[in-house]
Copies of this chain bind each other. A is one copy, B any other.
């Protein structure tokens, strides 16, 4: 006797329809079956309100149609935008997205990767900070903006070009002396390209520049000290700043304003990422815009294409510049 409250199974449907188990399976999976059989099965499914059990399916097929997205958090609008577009791209392919915010837990990144190996997900898209994750060869993984080694494909914006573009824009906007500010791990080489591109651009345009890099952690006070060190008699040594991302740019702008400096009149600031307030709102600052939707689409495409051996190690997508009120071009 079946428990009252348990969901009907294929067996129940088969009994109700008076057909074999395999026939029900075929109908459910759209495999051709005699018209009369199909009808009987469909009626029984309807009558019993049958739903396939996806554990049992997964057990046989070893496939979940679920992908995990590892992000530090969704509080950063750029990350939130990525999450949105990746969800769209996955949905289009009938996949679901497990969102994992790793910022709250230092071990979360590795734990989720382990989870993937327990077949809870078919693959992982990760924007991670931990540079030495153990990722098994057999785990489909695509990294965003961080190279994790030759076996792991990485999708990134053209960070070098972005840095170069920032320098050019600042030069075009009349800056004479600029600085690059950055936090985060020095091990993540993609953001380092922003620096390299910026230097390259500064040299090409004969801009004086300085670099302020704060590795690991977020001792924001160091930036404040740096800026105050370069602040003399109401003037800053720099008339242009390029921040490694919009979040840092926003924080820096607040510091500048607290110091009594006007943005963009006294100092022009360019960030990186190009996220917007409500998807359709304003940019948080003048910024190098990453092509979020394209990055998302590319990650999903790479992850789900069957042949892992043809994955290119690094995909660079083009960036653009957008004025956002913190430069003199609005």
Q: Is the CB of A52 closer than 8 A to any CB of chain B?
A: yes
Contact with B along A67-108 (1 / 0, CB 8 A): 001000111110011011001100100001111110011001
Copies of this chain, how many?
2
* Complex Cα gap A153–B59 (Å): 33
Q: Contact between A101 and B88 (Cβ–Cβ < 8 Å)?
A: yes
Interface centre among A52, A98, A105, A280 (most CB of B within 10 A): A98
Q: Is the CB of A258 closer than 8 A to any CB of chain B?
A: no
Given the known A-B contacts A97-B98, A277-B250, are A108 and B84 also in contact in the complex, defined by CB atoms under 8 Å?
Answer: no
Given the known A-B contacts A54-B120, A80-B75, are A98 and B101 also in contact in the complex, defined by CB atoms under 8 Å?
Answer: no
Among B104, B250, B282, contact of A91 (Cβ-Cβ < 8 Å): B104
Stretch at the interface among A111-119, A169-177, A299-307: A111-119
Q: Contact between A96 and B98 (Cβ–Cβ < 8 Å)?
A: yes
Q: Contact between A277 and B284 (Cβ–Cβ < 8 Å)?
A: yes
* Complex Cα gap A284–B250 (Å): 13
Given the known A-B contacts A55-B59, A59-B59, A98-B66, are A91 and B108 also in contact in the complex, defined by CB atoms under 8 Å?
Answer: yes
Q: Contact between A278 and B100 (Cβ–Cβ < 8 Å)?
A: no
* A interface size (C-beta, 8 A): 55
* Complex Cα gap A90–B75 (Å): 17
* Complex Cα gap A71–B88 (Å): 13
Q: Contact between A100 and B87 (Cβ–Cβ < 8 Å)?
A: yes
Please list the residues of chain A having a beta carbon within 8 angstroms of any beta carbon in chain B. Answer: 5, 7, 51-56, 58-59, 62, 64, 66, 69, 73-77, 80-81, 83-84, 87-88, 91, 96-101, 104-105, 108, 114-115, 117-120, 138, 246-247, 250-251, 254, 276-282, 284
In the complex, besides A53-B59, A55-B64, A77-B278, 19 extra interface pairs with C-beta distance below 8 angstroms are: A51-B114, A51-B118, A54-B119, A55-B55, A55-B58, A66-B98, A74-B81, A83-B99, A84-B101, A87-B101, A91-B104, A91-B105, A91-B108, A96-B115, A97-B98, A247-B278, A250-B282, A251-B281, A277-B284
A to B CB contacts below 8 Å, 12 in the list = A54-B120, A55-B64, A74-B87, A75-B84, A75-B279, A76-B279, A77-B278, A88-B101, A91-B104, A91-B105, A246-B278, A254-B282
